[in-house]
Amino acid sequence: MLDVVWDMETGDPDDFITLLLLLGHPEVNLKAVTITPGTPDQVGVVRQALRWFGRDIPVGAYNLDHQPKSVREGTGPGEGRHGPRGVCVSSWHYKAYGEIPPSRDAAPGPEVLRAVCDASTTLITGAPLKNLGGAMKLPGFQVGRIVVQGGFAGEGVVPPERQLPKFRGMVTCPTYNLNGDPKSALEALRYPGIGARRFVSKNVCHGVIYDHEMHDRIETLKDKSPSLRLIWQGMDVYLEKKGEKRQNRPSPPEVEESAPEAMGGKAFHDPLAACCAIDPSIGAWAEVELYREKGAWGSRLAPGSGTWIITGYDREKFLRTLTALPVG
């Protein structure tokens, strides 16, 4: 079993889908969840997922004590694409899974990371690295491995035949999660208490699309796994809203393997990162030095750096890991 901590946000379905994946995966022991920024609505949806799986594990919030009231307490940002949304929670969560009450049942995120991480723990991050940044300031914090959804590898690192058309020839590119707290991201590259570093970057994850073909594949398995049932339920709502339901679409045209985003659907960034943490052989990796330049991130080949970035992936291995069924 892989000991995992999941650091997430809730502005996009990806992170919550990844939480469901990690909670039910037979090869994962989810030790804790930390959230950025940590609003009561965010804590509420995480606590709801834990209840579905009968789990009582630590939940950390980066800044819970200084967050605005929940939309369910009379304030909030109003309507989203799918209906009422929470503070830092997309309306998709409520449309897909029903009314979820807010919660303040959380501890400070950096302290949770220090308490639960050790040399045998993998920290997977799908959010700006604020909780990790706070943990690195606390005495004694260590973690065996980080798998970060973020970063960029381009020309000079990724072979031309693997470059997505939208990034072809690029050396650097802005990346949301690392730019959400660049100081912490840069510190994570040099912090001695981190054993290994892997970055699942946008040059690959932007080509991983949850489309009707993947939806159909999960539908055939959903009754065998609570995780897959809940993932299918949420993505069914998403695809319906986006007009991507299979019955409303013609069969996809043949497209080059490096550009599946042309088929539509939902980019599946964070689930790829989680699956690469479970099975690193899903990815092709290059050992690099990551750097930031004028608000954009890039990579240079650097053998011996101990930092690895993804340059390609095996789609079938990814799908097998994503859809793994519980033992027995």
DSSP per-residue codes, 71-125 = GGGT-S--EETTEE-BTTB-HHHHHHH---------EEHHHHHHHH--TTEEEEE
The pLDDT of residue 112 is 98
148: Cβ contacts below 8 Å, ≥ 6 apart: 124, 125, 129, 177, 178, 185, 188, 197, 198, 199, 200, 273
262: Cβ contacts below 8 Å, ≥ 6 apart: 255
The pLDDT of residue 155 is 92
pLDDT digits (tens, 9 = 90+) for 270-282: 999 999 999 999 9
Percentage of the residues of the chain whose pLDDT score is greater than 90 = 77
Name the stretches of the chain with pLDDT < 50: 244-263, 327-328
pLDDT digits (tens, 9 = 90+) for 185-243: 999 999 999 999 999 999 998 899 999 999 999 999 999 899 999 999 999 999 986 55
**CATH superfamily of the 2-208+265-322 domain:** Ribonucleoside hydrolase-like (3.90.245.10)
Which of 205, 206, 269, 215 has its CA nearest to residue 239?
A: 215
Which of 191, 180, 189 has its CA nearest to residue 137?
A: 191
The pLDDT of residue 78 is 63
The pLDDT of residue 162 is 87
